[in-house]
Amino acid sequence: MTVNERIREVRKTLKMSQKDLAKGICISNSYLADVENDYRKANDRVVKLISITYGVSERWLKDGEGEMFYKAPDEKMTRLVSIFNELPPDFQDYALEQLEGLLKLRKGVIHLP
């Protein structure tokens, strides 16, 4: 199995469309389609982004050795990344500010009146 075939397998395992996976790692849908159809070679950046974003073992992606995931795929994280990437940049900034505020609230740094 090639790197490109393993990328397709990851996407199918995550039950994602090409569009959603491409959006999740900030590449074009057409580029991902070309990779999956062996028209283009998956570069190291794409492999690294898939690994970081979806918890996929880089070693498995590159060489097919070991387990597919270095951590179990997190459905909530996958959804979060997909939704976040659909937002315009100013909404992304706002979402990050809100999440950071929730984290501070949880840690007791912020106290509500």
Residues ≥6 apart with Cβ < 8 Å to 22: 28, 29, 31, 32
* Cα–Cα distance for residue pair 39/33, rounded to 1 Å: 8
Does 20 have pLDDT greater than 70?
Answer: yes
Tens-place pLDDT, residues 32-68: 999 999 999 999 999 999 998 888 999 999 999 999 9
Q: Whole-model pTM?
A: 0.66
Does 76 have pLDDT greater than 70?
Answer: yes
Provide CATH code, domain 3-107: 1.10.260.40
* Cα–Cα distance for residue pair 42/47, rounded to 1 Å: 7
Share of the chain above pLDDT 90, in %: 57
Residues ≥6 apart with Cβ < 8 Å to 102: none
Does 75 have pLDDT greater than 80?
Answer: no
